[in-house]
Structure 1
Amino acid sequence: MRRKSLYIILVAAGIAVAPSCKKYLAVDSPSTILIEETFKTVSNSNSAVVGVYAMLIGDNGYGSRIACLFPQSADDFKTSGDYSADDRRGISMYGASAGNTDLINPFNQLFKGIERANNCIKYIPLSNPYKSGTAEEQATMRKLYGEALTLRAQFYYEAIRNWGDLPAHFVPAADMVDLYQARVDQDTIYDHLLNDLAIAEDLIPWRSKSPDKNLRLTKAAVKGLRARIALARGGYALRTATHTMERRSDYKKYYEIALKECKEIMDQPGEHGLNPVYENIFKSLHTSTRMDDAHELIFEVGAFGGNASTDSKLGYYNGLRHNTSSKFGGGGGGINALPTYFYEFDSIADCRRDVTINCFEIDKDSKKIMNTGIAMTDGKFRRSWTAITGTSQNLAIDWPILRFADILLMYAEADNEVNGAPSSLAQNALDMVRRRAYAGHEDKLPAIPADKEGFFKAIVQERLLEFGGEGIRKYDLIRWNLLATKLSETKTKLRQFMVGEGRYANLPLYVYTKPADYNLLPSVLEVSKLDNYGGEPAKTLFEPGLGASTAPSGYTSKAWRAAVNEAYLTNELKGYVYYFEENKKELFPIPTDALNTNFKLKQNFGYN
């Protein structure tokens, strides 16, 4: 019902969404009269705002490319396949060209969303229902205005973290004296967005007071986005002027904004909390039957309609690999976990590992069987968690943008930075996230550091474990100026994994497996019931094993450590982040089509 209802609204929104950019900076001049007519009623104004929401989803939004391709790679996942500068693999290996086909359409869609939001932001406050309607009409119109401000901030935040400095479009294209705009320092845009969100949070109600509940933005979503943007503004970024990763001297005041916003969400415990079952957060994204009574999911992008514009390919492109002949239909496997990421989790206590990483796939007989060490996939999106079977590529799986665990960890991080050491409340926020992950194994919880540096390192590690596969890690590392460091560390770990050194010394070269029943059990239990020679994965993936490529009778051999070879590390077609260059590749190239459309737009440093 949740998706169906919003789908109907989106269809209706077609009346209001026509006045928008068809292509970045190639703008039709819409009729002002037509736009003003659109905003004469609350109903049509609502449709116009839903038309802004529509730019979040689809193949070129959080339904595929922005969610699945743009965040690769970090120290958790990478895209499968061999390098090409002109597609998704070029993005994952930090070697994307300006003509990369997976960049231009998302770039255009983000600016189309900004343009649609700009129309709403201009015309809603000028409308009669906003200025002189009934009290109920005015409250609704104020909420719509706040939603438009917030959505514009989300689009700009996504664009800036991928492309850096960009033109500042804060009025409709029809009002621009000059459509050809030069790039503006991202700090200027971020400051504008932070001010917008300060306005929006006073206009949008808390979840419990909202008529839309899970469908739309709530006060917590606005505050959480403001905290996230504040941390980006206070963090490091690749600067156009110096071609260097830098953060500004006044960065702490932005951490103070994040601290305030997160605390205000935490002070409303009836609005959002931690889902007691980690796995259920992600199952809730797959079905209209919610398994999130705590409302940990604060802001998600709805997917619906079975098409490339309003639905998602989550679970089809990424997620658990399903053989085409399985009863579920085919899909998954486009994103692979780094084998070293599997070993970052506590092997006994942390339930997040088997939710976040699929060490198995579904075969043609709909049974589960172990993967190789480099074929593990991201686990939070699974075709078999949906009711959609057959050949469909659109599985109506939502994308999580913000959840309460992030509020807790942003608060803890900001508190530590502002105060020079973590307060007891910051330590408790980290502890809450960990305790959920270690439920039933609290005796194995790591100690929480009391010093600034130690606590920051704990936050860096916790966010790696908590948000794997949710499109967050790479951008965290960039704002901390740790991307180059962590990529280098991961290369070292991968080589140690390959040769069996250090923490990886006792791991098997091969594992031996055969198909086992796939019963859709909780992930930790499902993994424990894999049929591996020598026992459960908790044993076979942590002991040397037989060391031979030939499997015992009745089993199939799967390369584990042996799956990582020199090509995986250093080959120009397969090598992990092979083309990364510090102080260059933290950003994508501006798409060629955008440069050709706007002669004032200059290419990012390091790209031709």
Structure 2
Amino acid sequence: MNKRYLHKITLLAASSLMLGLGSCKKYLDQQPITAVGPDFVFNSVETTRAALIGVYNQLTGDAGYGLRLNLYFSVGTDETEGPTGNADGSRRDFPLYATTPGNSQIFAPYTQLFKGIQYANVCIESIPKMDLYDNGSDGQKKQLQRMYGEALTLRAQFYAEAIRNWGDLPAHFTAAEELATQDPFPKRTDRDVLYDQILNDLKTAEALVPWRNEVTSIGDPQDERITKGTVKGLRARIALARAGYSLRQSGTMKQGSNPQTYYQIARDETNDIITSAQHSLNPSFKDLWKNQVGGRTAWDPNGELMFQVTAIGRTASADTKIGYNSGPTVVDLATQTGSTGTSSVFILPTYFYMFDSTDTRRDVTCVPYSDTLAPDGVTFYKKGQPITSVFDGKYRRDWLNPPLAAGTYLNNYSGFKWQILRYADVLLMFAEAENELNGPTTAAYNAINLVRRRAFGNSNNDIPAGLSKSDFFKYLVRERELELGAEGVRKYDLIRWNLLATAITESKSNIALFGTTTGTTLTGTLAQPSYMAGYPSYVGNLANLPVSMFYRARTASDDLNIGGIVLNSWYAKAPSSTPAGSTKVAWIVITTDPTKTTAAAVLAHYATNFVPNKSELLPIPQDAITAYGGFASNMPQNPGY
């Protein structure tokens, strides 16, 4: 098969992914190309942009950040656990850390990430060779330079995601047809080498891609496409991963070489973003998620949503099951049937109580209710849930705007945009890198406290002054958990800090206390974690927590403050009598039967198969090893599998 024909097949595959994008009017609104072949595709700005959108499209769908990468792979930390039930060779395996090389859900995301790398490679190799790249108008040249930088950035994102899940991987930095003639079965390359390559690529990209306020000046619309802040933020994130720990082929957790070099990169890149004043925090955490993310807006006025994955079309290849596989379930009001949602992400009791009572992030991140949809197809009534059934709440269908049409709310696909990078994360990465290099400086304090002040609405809850470097780090570990909860970040943070095993072990120990009773009262004191700043002082004594919660009957409100949906405090003993107009729910199950306690219910499916120095990585899919045939030795399995 000649090289040109292989190239044409690649572009045909890319163009087929664009066909569903023409209806995405407000967002990445591109018309699909109808002819393929490199000479045609990379001949104009418009057709090149269409090819680039084909690369973007590999971020989404069931095999991307529409389901598996974000809602399967990242669950099972000190924040969240997965669904009830035993390992099933499918989705339940991941949060249980029971995944095997033959798991039915593992090969598709592995393949899609490398498909994204391949599509990006075609753009990376082709765009700079275009006549317009050097000889077009000023606007054409700048738009093509941006697209070249975007392709480099997307390839880096695909690789970074693959590395943090599977470790060392083959190096695919040329188009597949070239690789096929040079080294068709490449060996796994050390991840530090791969990281260095994509960090260098991102350095190139940030000189090509405009800041968000420069986009319209080159003739591009304001949308979710990558801008310079995105490139710099991803470069910082990848640098921190390169500086941190990961499970090596030797079967040991090991820190990357020359970590200070990479902390400096992270510090410089995040500092550039901060001093650029291109991005800021939405003043309201709830508004950010309910009206920006839930509203599916194309333009975020604050620029806090720095990298989000567009999803459209209600298809497995281009939409998301966010809000179906996660978030509150929904039933039909008239029949009380038709429950929809697979309920695969749940908030741990210990994470719920890590939040201060006045932290506004709690009621966004943690949702102790399910939804009932009224006949109008728009109004959602709330039904209180016990602590074992608290859903993740940042992507919830009662916040989706516009709402799913009446009669279609059972549809798996929501159109929610998964957030890969937010400005709050940039601030916290800066604080971390600055602390690693220089200790807890004023700049590091300012960054972390900006995030906290948004959460509390004031400066009364700033982290304590005068901390040591190690204690500041512990506050940073907690702040990233509180700010970025259920956003697919925590597991990989804990791994790069070499704290995942510690976090799971200590969480299990504290969760077990939710089964320690006298028969009528919960007893015991939560142990403060060793690896991060701890619980609010008034949470520690479990005897002070309510065993029942009283929820307002049939309300459409999403206000979880006392007097809204709930009528008693999460942090004090429940009243002895049922308040008028409320429904009583057993918040924490009190029983002398150890098999029926809240602790037993949670621990039955919380990281039950976690093994240190194995579970930090997923197994290489067996199909990927089998595809190497007689060269399978070039693709050895990960440790412990």
State if a TM-score over 0.5 links the two structures.
yes
Say if 2:60 and 2:318, in contact at 8 Å, map to a contact too: yes
Quote how far apart the aligned CAs of 1:423 are. Answer: 1.2
Deviations 1:239-281 (A, max 9, x none): 11x2111113411110000000000000111x11011000122
Partner of 2:615: 585
Residue 474, structure 1, aligned to residue 491, structure 2: yes
Partner of 2:87: 84
Quote how far apart the aligned CAs of 1:179 are. Answer: 1.6
Which of these residues, 223, 230, 239, is aligned with residue 232 of structure 2?
Answer: 223
Residue 205, structure 1, aligned to residue 210, structure 2: yes
Against the structure 1 CA distance between its residues 473 and 336, is the aligned structure 2 distance closer, same or farther, given a 3 Å change threshold?
same
Secondary structure of 1:443's aligned partner: coil
The amino acid across from 1:296 in the alignment is E
Supply the RMSD in Å over aligned alpha carbons. Answer: 2.7
Against the structure 1 CA distance between its residues 3 and 276, is the aligned structure 2 distance closer, same or farther, given a 3 Å change threshold?
farther
- Mapping of residues 143-292 of structure 1, within 5 Å: 143-176=146-179, 177-210=182-215, 211-240=220-249, 242-269=250-277, 271-283=278-290, 284-289=292-297, 292=300
Residue 537, structure 1, aligned to residue 585, structure 2: no
CA distance in structure 2 between the aligned counterparts of 1:576 and 1:288, rounded to whole angstroms? 32
The amino acid across from 1:494 in the alignment is I
Partner of 1:369: 383
Quote how far apart the aligned CAs of 1:369 are. Answer: 2.4
CA distance in structure 2 between the aligned counterparts of 1:300 and 1:356, rounded to whole angstroms? 18
Secondary structure of 1:367's aligned partner: strand
Partner of 1:378: 392
Partner of 2:478: 461
Secondary structure of 2:354's aligned partner: coil
Secondary structure of 1:262's aligned partner: helix
Partner of 2:454: 436
Quote how far apart the aligned CAs of 1:329 are. Answer: 8.0
Partner of 1:300: 308
CA distance in structure 2 between the aligned counterparts of 1:498 and 1:188, rounded to whole angstroms? 47
Secondary structure of 1:506's aligned partner: helix
Displaced runs of 4 or more, over 6 A:
326-329, 550-554, 567-573
Residue 396, structure 1, aligned to residue 415, structure 2: yes
Partner of 1:28: none
CA distance in structure 2 between the aligned counterparts of 1:201 and 1:520, rounded to whole angstroms? 44
Deviations 1:566-605 (A, max 9, x none): 5876799933111101111100011111111122211111
Partner of 1:115: 118
Partner of 2:637: 603
Say if 1:73 and 1:577, in contact at 8 Å, map to a contact too: yes
The size of the alignment, in residue pairs, is 575
CA distance in structure 2 between the aligned counterparts of 1:461 and 1:528, rounded to whole angstroms? 29
Secondary structure of 1:374's aligned partner: helix
What's the % identity of the aligned pairs?
38
Against the structure 1 CA distance between its residues 414 and 174, is the aligned structure 2 distance closer, same or farther, given a 3 Å change threshold?
same
Say if 1:448 and 1:458, in contact at 8 Å, map to a contact too: no
- Where does structure 2 lack aligned partners over 5 or more consecutive residues? 1-21, 375-379, 517-522, 526-539
Secondary structure of 2:637's aligned partner: coil
Say if 1:7 and 1:305, in contact at 8 Å, map to a contact too: no
Partner of 2:3: none
Quote how far apart the aligned CAs of 1:330 are. Answer: 3.7
Residue 140, structure 1, aligned to residue 143, structure 2: yes
Against the structure 1 CA distance between its residues 218 and 528, is the aligned structure 2 distance closer, same or farther, given a 3 Å change threshold?
farther
Quote how far apart the aligned CAs of 1:35 are. Answer: 2.3
CA distance in structure 2 between the aligned counterparts of 1:572 and 1:294, rounded to whole angstroms? 38
Say if 2:192 and 2:256, in contact at 8 Å, map to a contact too: no
CA distance in structure 2 between the aligned counterparts of 1:319 and 1:394, rounded to whole angstroms? 13
CA distance in structure 2 between the aligned counterparts of 1:87 and 1:397, rounded to whole angstroms? 23
CA distance in structure 2 between the aligned counterparts of 1:254 and 1:58, rounded to whole angstroms? 32
The amino acid across from 1:516 in the alignment is A
Partner of 2:530: none
- Mapping of residues 491-530 of structure 1, within 5 Å: 491-499=508-516, 500-502=523-525, 503-508=540-545, 510-513=547-550, 515-521=552-558, 523-525=559-561, 528-530=563-565
Q: TM-score by structure 2 length?
A: 0.84
Quote how far apart the aligned CAs of 1:68 are. Answer: 0.8
Against the structure 1 CA distance between its residues 181 and 520, is the aligned structure 2 distance closer, same or farther, given a 3 Å change threshold?
farther
CA distance in structure 2 between the aligned counterparts of 1:358 and 1:553, rounded to whole angstroms? 21
- Mapping of residues 306-325 of structure 1, within 5 Å: 306-325=314-333
Partner of 1:422: 440
CA distance in structure 1 between the aligned counterparts of 2:140 and 2:619, rounded to whole angstroms? 44
CA distance in structure 2 between the aligned counterparts of 1:571 and 1:95, rounded to whole angstroms? 18
CA distance in structure 2 between the aligned counterparts of 1:111 and 1:571, rounded to whole angstroms? 38
Quote how far apart the aligned CAs of 1:282 are. Answer: 1.5
Deviations 1:416-475 (A, max 9, x none): 0011x11101110011000110115x4344424531011100100000100001000000
Partner of 2:346: 336
The amino acid across from 1:426 in the alignment is A
Quote how far apart the aligned CAs of 1:167 are. Answer: 0.3
CA distance in structure 2 between the aligned counterparts of 1:432 and 1:302, rounded to whole angstroms? 28
- Where does structure 1 lack aligned partners over 5 or more consecutive residues? 17-33
Say if 1:93 and 1:579, in contact at 8 Å, map to a contact too: yes
CA distance in structure 1 between the aligned counterparts of 2:34 and 2:238, rounded to whole angstroms? 30
CA distance in structure 2 between the aligned counterparts of 1:576 and 1:147, rounded to whole angstroms? 39
Say if 1:161 and 1:587, in contact at 8 Å, map to a contact too: yes
Which of these residues, 476, 483, 488, is aligned with residue 505 of structure 2?
Answer: 488
The amino acid across from 1:592 in the alignment is Q
Which of these residues, 584, 596, 605, is aligned with residue 575 of structure 1?
Answer: 605
Partner of 2:32: 12
Secondary structure of 1:124's aligned partner: helix
Deviations 1:521-547 (A, max 9, x none): 4x444x65225xxx4234xx532666x
